[in-house]
Every structure is written in structure tokens, then in C-alpha cells.
């Protein structure tokens, strides 16, 4: 699962026709290599006064460390805006942000939970992500992993089998997943929690610091 980050631009002057976001990634502390990795996206014109423009960009789970020989889950995002204004184009200064992660855990002492996601979004709820959670003891090659739930067409069969397999795991169940964000940026977060077997007990909710809520309701605010 990847994640999403919203970038926004507000026109400070008249005559701006279009704005493009240019961005790249590097290892922590690194500089952008625009020859190897250069992404560019036109911003969506949302109108208003002053005119606002935005784009939700897809973010990686990590970048490749050629010296270390593996994936680095933390990295650096580099970006600038290209602005077309009054028949000319100009660029903003390069900005860089450290992207860091946190491993999230939900401890289920009773074994009641059958489905669980972290529901989260950076800055506000306009670029949300559902990250399926799993107890690391659950077999990764099973057809009933959390990530396989969505494309599993017989949901009743899945929920039955998942609950039976979870019942074999000693309590408590440690549901885990990972989230990312620019360092210090607010991350809004809930747990989307489900008890989907047996059918007569089906229950789901979005859990925040004040208890059950609706999606985007009561939530924690984290800073990674």
C-alpha cells in the first residue's frame, strides 16, 4: 500500500495561468537526482479568490539505497512549483521535507476484532489512506491476509475463515501497520475496526480517542 500527500498552491498575484508541481525523492540527507527521478503534475484549479490549486500525489513506501543494498523506509521529498504567469514561466525555490514513518499497533486483548485498518491522512482529511493491519504471526501466504480481503469476492467465507484462524493465535492480538508523513506534520488518525463474524454480531466503527465515531470524526493527531 502506498500513501498520499496533498500539495497546495495559493495564487499571490494576478495573471497566473497554470502551475505544475515538480518533485523527486532521495535518501535521507540526499539531494534530488532529477535525471533519474523527476515527477511532474499539473495542479487542479479549484478556483476561488485567491485562487487555490492542488494536487494529491502518490508517495512511495521507501526509496532504494544503492550503497546499503535495500529499501529505506525513510527518505526525503524535494519539490518546487513551476508557474506560468503573464506569458512567462518561473520557478519557486526548491523545498525539501524529511519523510519518516511510524509503526502503528492496536492491541486486541479479547480477540474480538476480525478486520482492522489504520485510517489516516496528513494535514487534513483530503488525502486519506486505509492501511490494513495484521498480526505479524498471521501467515503471510494465507489467502485470508488483510490485504487480500478487498478482492476476495465471498466476504462471508473470508470473514468466517479469518475469525477461525485468528482464534488459533494466542491473545492478545497485536495488529500492526505502518504510516508515513513529513517530519512534524500533523497526521489525523482513527482505527477502522470490524467484528464481521458471526453474521448476527456484525459491527464496525471508526475508533478515535473518545470512542466510536464516524469516518473522519473524533481522531488522534500525531506528529511523526
* Residues that bind other proteins in the complex, under the rule CB under 8 A: 1-2, 4, 17-18, 20, 22, 25, 34, 36-38, 40-45, 55-56, 58-64, 71, 84, 87-89, 115, 125-126, 128-130, 148, 150-153, 155, 192, 194, 196, 202, 204, 206, 214-215
The nearest distance, CB 63 to other proteins, in angstroms, is 5
Residue closer to other proteins, measured from CB, 129 or 224: 129
Contact criterion met (CB below 8 Å) for 46 and 53 = yes
Identify which of residues 173 and 192 has a Cβ nearer to other proteins in the complex.
192
Q: CA angle at residue 86 from 80 to 91, to 5 degrees?
A: 15
Residue 184: CB minimum distance to other proteins, A: 22
Nearer to other proteins, 19 or 224 (CB): 19
Half-sphere exposure of 28 (CA within 13 A, CB side): 12
Cβ proximity to other proteins: between 22 and 219 the closer is 22
- What is 157-197 written as a DSSP string? HHHHHHHHHHHTSPSSEEEEEEEEEETT-EEEEEEEEEE--
To other proteins, the closest distance from the beta carbon of 129 in angstroms equals: 7
C-alpha cell at 171: 491473545
CA 30 distance to own-chain centroid: 23
Amino acid at each position: 500500500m502506498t500513501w498520499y500527500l496533498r500539495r497546495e498552491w495559493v495564487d499571490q498575484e494576478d495573471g497566473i495561468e497554470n502551475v505544475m508541481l515538480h518533485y523527486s525523492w532521495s535518501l535521507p540527507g540526499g539531494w534530488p537526482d532529477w535525471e533519474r527521478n523527476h515527477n511532474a503534475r499539473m495542479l487542479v484549479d479549484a478556483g476561488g479568490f485567491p485562487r487555490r490549486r492542488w494536487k494529491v500525489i502518490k508517495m512511495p513506501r521507501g526509496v532504494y539505497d544503492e550503497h546499503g543494498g535495500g529499501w529505506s523506509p525513510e527518505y526525503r521529498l524535494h519539490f518546487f512549483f513551476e508557474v506560468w504567469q503573464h506569458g512567462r514561466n518561473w520557478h519557486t525555490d526548491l523545498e525539501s521535507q524529511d519523510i519518516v514513518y511510524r509503526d502503528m499497533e492496536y492491541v486486541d486483548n479479547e480477540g474480538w476484532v476480525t478486520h482492522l485498518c489504520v485510517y489516516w491522512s496528513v494535514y487534513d482529511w483530503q488525502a486519506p489512506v486505509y492501511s490494513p493491519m495484521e498480526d505479524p504471526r498471521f501467515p503471510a501466504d494465507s489467502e485470508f491476509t488483510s490485504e487480500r480481503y478487498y478482492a476476495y469476492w465471498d466476504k462471508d467465507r473470508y470473514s468466517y475463515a479469518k475469525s477461525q484462524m485468528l482464534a488459533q493465535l494466542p491473545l492478545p492480538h497485536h495488529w500492526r501497520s505502518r504510516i508515513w508523513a513529513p517530519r512534524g506534520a500533523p497526521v489525523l488518525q482513527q482505527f477502522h475496526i470490524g467484528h464481521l463474524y458471526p453474521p448476527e454480531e456484525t459491527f464496525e466503527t471508526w475508533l478515535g480517542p473518545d470512542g466510536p465515531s464516524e469516518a473522519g470524526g473524533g481522531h488522534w493527531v500525531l506528529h511523526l
